Structures are given as C-alpha cells and as structure tokens.
Amino acid sequence: MNHWLKVFRAGAIAGVVLFMSAPSLASEKDFAGTWIFSGALTAPKVTALYAPRCTLKVDAGEVTGSCKGASGLGSIEGAVSGDTIVLRWKKIAINADTVDSTVTFRGKLDDDGYIRGEVKDSLFDGPVGLFVAQRV
C-alpha cells in the first residue's frame, strides 16, 4: 500500500504542475490574421478617422505586420499579453490630405471576437479616441 501512496502523490504533484501551467497557455488569445480596424479620434478643430486593414503575425507575444487604409500604409508592430494587444502603426501618408504619423491601438480581444480599445495618434497631443477591430 505504501507503494500506491507514493504513486498517487507523484501523480497528484504532476497533475498540479500541469494544471498550474495550462492556464498560461490557454489564456493567450489568437490575434494573428487579417483585421479591419475602425476608429475615430476627436481633437480641436478636427476628427481623425482610422479604417486600415491590417495583417498581423504573432510570434512569442511579439506582433509584426502591415496595414493599409485610405489615408496611409505602413508597418505595424506591438505585443500581446493574454487578451490585451498594443500596436503601433507607422502610417505613411498616401495622399495630399494626410501626413505621416504613428497610430497606437491599445485594446482587448472580447469573447465576441472583436478587439475594442483606445486609439492615439502622434499628430495630436492629448486626445484619445476609440476603435473596434473585426477579423476578416
């Protein structure tokens, strides 16, 4: 019987270790793929609209990719932690109505599959807008 007690203890310890490590693996959300962002930021005398289509790649919590919208295109990079993502889009203007800037998206992936959060543009000191992104 002493032998079975040792086997039970060893199995229980292994089970606890596996159980404790599993949530960290399961809690990492999948942000990879193509997303359409839709956001707005209101500053004095102007409202900036953001609607880029972004393709994201995730490797060990680091995000890379590219975005293209009506006003600009460029690389995007950032980080993922659980259900939270922070992205910096280095937007290069593609028409005369816009200028280059860095747009930061900070959001969470909700249970319904949408990313929701705040958007900030390096062109505007202070104001923060809201965005939502949908996987396509």
* Three-class secondary structure of residue 112 per DSSP: coil
Model-wide pTM > 0.85: no
11 assigned to some structural domain = no
Instruction: Provide the pLDDT for residue 2.
Output: 54
Instruction: Provide the pLDDT for residue 126.
Output: 86
Tell me the per-residue pLDDT of 61-79, one tens digit each, with 9 for 90 and over: 999 999 999 999 999 999 9
Query: Confidence class of residue 1 from pLDDT cuts 50, 70 and 90?
Result: low
* Three-class secondary structure of residue 24 per DSSP: helix
112 assigned to some structural domain = yes
90 assigned to some structural domain = yes
The stretch 20-46 carries a mean pLDDT of 79
CATH code of 130's domain: 2.40.128.120
